[in-house]
Amino acid sequence: MRSMLSILLVLLAWGCAAPPEDPLATPNDLCADVTVLAGPGGQDRREPWMRQGKMILFADGTVLADLGPTVNARTRPGLARTLYQKQVRQMWDLARSLGFASPELADFDGNPELVEADEGELVYLMTFSAGQSRWTFVRRFPAKDGPDEATATWVKAMAEAAFLRELPSDRGTPIRYDFGPDPYAWFRKPGA
């Protein structure tokens, strides 16, 4: 009986041993979050990587995205699409090649939800989390100039992964219409 118990414990310990991690592998808990904030006078750009919006990539390939003037760092956008694991790996490789996959290189340690864009400015908040670490890069640029090459490459890749497209020059942003009076108004008591 003791020998069976010891064999079981050895097998259990052997099965629980973690395999060595590949430093180049895509983390299982990867999350890449990009928020673009446009200050007053900076909202007239047509490119999706230069319009106010948010894009999130998860390790399972889920991509969330939304664009619009009310989107900010606290927004949780809706599902845009799901990437294959090969595409997730390519995105992580791109982030690593651009220098965004290293927590040591992060340049912001505050709360990204409190960052705001100034007049005529674009702010890019790029937050990554992997391996129980979380790090953020904040880049500020005049809206007329746009971001540096590394930031532009990463945000364009995120926008393409989310199927966000450039607005045609002959169309503006969609207009949200009012759908009429309150249908429940007649249920309320007068004066309420």
Q: Where are the domains of the chain?
A: 30-167
Q: What's the confidence (pLDDT) of residue 156?
A: 92
Q: What's the confidence (pLDDT) of residue 20?
A: 44
Each residue's pLDDT tens digit in the chain (192 positions)? 566 656 655 555 555 444 445 656 788 889 999 999 998 887 777 788 888 899 999 999 999 999 888 899 999 999 999 999 999 999 999 999 999 998 898 888 888 899 999 998 999 999 999 988 999 999 999 988 888 999 999 999 999 999 887 766 655 555 556 666 777 777 877 765
3-state SS, residue 21? coil
Query: How far is Cα of residue 13 from the mean position of the Cα atoms in its chain?
Result: 38
Distant-in-sequence, close-in-space partners of 112: CB < 8 Å, separation ≥ 6: 35, 73, 125, 127, 136, 138
Q: What's the confidence (pLDDT) of residue 83?
A: 94
> Interior CA angle at 102 toward 96 and 103, to 5°?
150
Q: What's the confidence (pLDDT) of residue 90?
A: 95
Q: What's the confidence (pLDDT) of residue 18?
A: 46
Contact call for residues 73 and 125 (beta carbons, < 8 A): yes
